């Protein structure tokens, strides 16, 4: 396998022989202390807070394109770089980076299945310390295609060709746990907890594709529909977004701000 044809979801044994190759950059989104102690050899670090923006009470927004250009360039991501992202929580932060890269027009990217846990537990090498990034030039080619804002969702609430997935916990979905001024979920949204995508017995890798596809089919989420994912801040639902893309769903969007936006508005309808 070469850097030119890496899949969206990559396994550690596929990545290991490619480390150090030109055109490949491994990006770590673990917390800084974890990165300092354990990271994939050659991996550069991005703090999760660098790839999100806020307009309180709304969190999880997309930063300005110019800010992301500077960040990606300083990190060593050029327009032709293949980015492999990972974290230590099953993929939410790594998936959010990939979704953000896609918004910026970047297509060459993968997520390490199972992240740091799978890599370490499979016996692959780890380094300590900080890798100094080699700056590159990243130029944004902004695309709103991966984004669904509140107005777009409102326009499609009664559209049978559009389905929403709520990636939060069951308690958040039914309004028992509230992290915004109102609790509940967007009308008609299907509940699929992001943790149900991961297999805790297999180092937080994705569950088998057949199992994930069945879970989606059971919820009426079929590949012919446009799918919009959301959670509280589009952190957890970014993993849902990437999972759908990996399963062959081509019409997928995510809601920046997610419930921190919808649940703090007065005019948006809710269900419990």
φ and ψ at residue 208, rounded to 5 degrees = -55, 145
Residue 2 pLDDT grade (very low, low, confident, very high; cuts 50, 70, 90): low
Q: Is the pLDDT of residue 3 over 80?
A: no
How far is Cα 161 from Cα 139, in angstroms, rounded to an integer? 34
Annotate 131-141 with b (16+ C-beta within 10 A) or e (fewer): bebeebebebe
- Where in the chain is CATH 3.40.250.10? 3-121, 150-262
Residue 254 has what pLDDT? Answer: 98
Judge whether 237 and 230 are in contact, CB under 8 Å. yes
Residue 1 scores a pLDDT above 80: no
Q: What is the pLDDT of residues 56-66, one digit of tens each?
A: 999 999 999 99
CATH class name, domain 150-262: alpha beta
Calculate Rg over the CA atoms of the chain.
18
Q: What is the CATH topology of the domain spanning 3-121?
A: Oxidized Rhodanese; domain 1 (3.40.250)
What are 253's strand-pairing partners? 228
Instruction: Write the CA distances from 69 to 13, 143, 170, integer angstroms.
Output: 31, 14, 37
CB 88 within 8 A of CB 68: no
* pLDDT mean over 97-104: 98
For residue range 11-54, list pLDDT tens digits in order.
999 999 999 999 999 999 999 999 999 999 999 999 999 999 99
- Residue 231 bears catalytic tag: yes
Percentage of the chain exceeding pLDDT 90: 98
Which of 231, 239, 242, 243 is catalytic? The answer is 231
Residue 160 CB neighbour total at 10 angstroms: 9
pLDDT in tens, 194-252: 999 999 999 999 999 999 999 999 999 999 999 999 999 999 999 999 999 999 999 99
């Amino acid at each position: 396998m070469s850097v030119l044809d890496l899949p969206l979801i990559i396994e550690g044994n596929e990545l290991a022989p490619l480390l150090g190759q030109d055109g490949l950059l491994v990006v770590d989104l673990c917390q800084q202390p974890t990165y300092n102690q354990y990271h994939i050899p050659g991996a550069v670090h991005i703090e999760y807070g660098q790839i999100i923006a806020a307009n309180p009470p709304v969190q999880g927004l997309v930063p300005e394109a110019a800010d992301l250009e500077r960040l990606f360039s300083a990190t060593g991501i050029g327009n032709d770089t293949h980015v492999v992202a990972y974290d230590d929580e099953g993929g939410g932060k790594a998936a959010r980076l990939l979704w953000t890269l896609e918004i910026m027009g970047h297509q060459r990217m993968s997520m390490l299945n199972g992240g740091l846990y799978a890599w370490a537990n499979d016996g692959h090498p780890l380094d300590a310390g900080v890798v100094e990034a080699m700056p590159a030039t990243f130029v944004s080619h902004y695309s709103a295609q991966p984004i669904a804002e509140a107005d777009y969702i409102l326009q499609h609430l009664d559209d049978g060709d559009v389905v929403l997935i709520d990636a939060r916990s069951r308690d958040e979905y039914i309004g028992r746990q509230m992290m915004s001024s109102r609790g509940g979920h967007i009308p008609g949204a299907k509940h699929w907890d992001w943790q149900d995508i991961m297999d805790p017995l297999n180092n937080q890798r994705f569950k088998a594709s057949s199992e994930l596809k069945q879970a989606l089919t059971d919820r009426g989420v079929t590949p012919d529909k446009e799918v919009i994912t959301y959670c509280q801040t589009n952190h957890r639902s970014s993993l849902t977004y990437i999972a759908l893309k990996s399963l062959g769903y081509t019409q997928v969007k995510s809601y920046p701000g997610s419930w921190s936006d919808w649940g703090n508005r007065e005019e948006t309808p809710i269900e419990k």
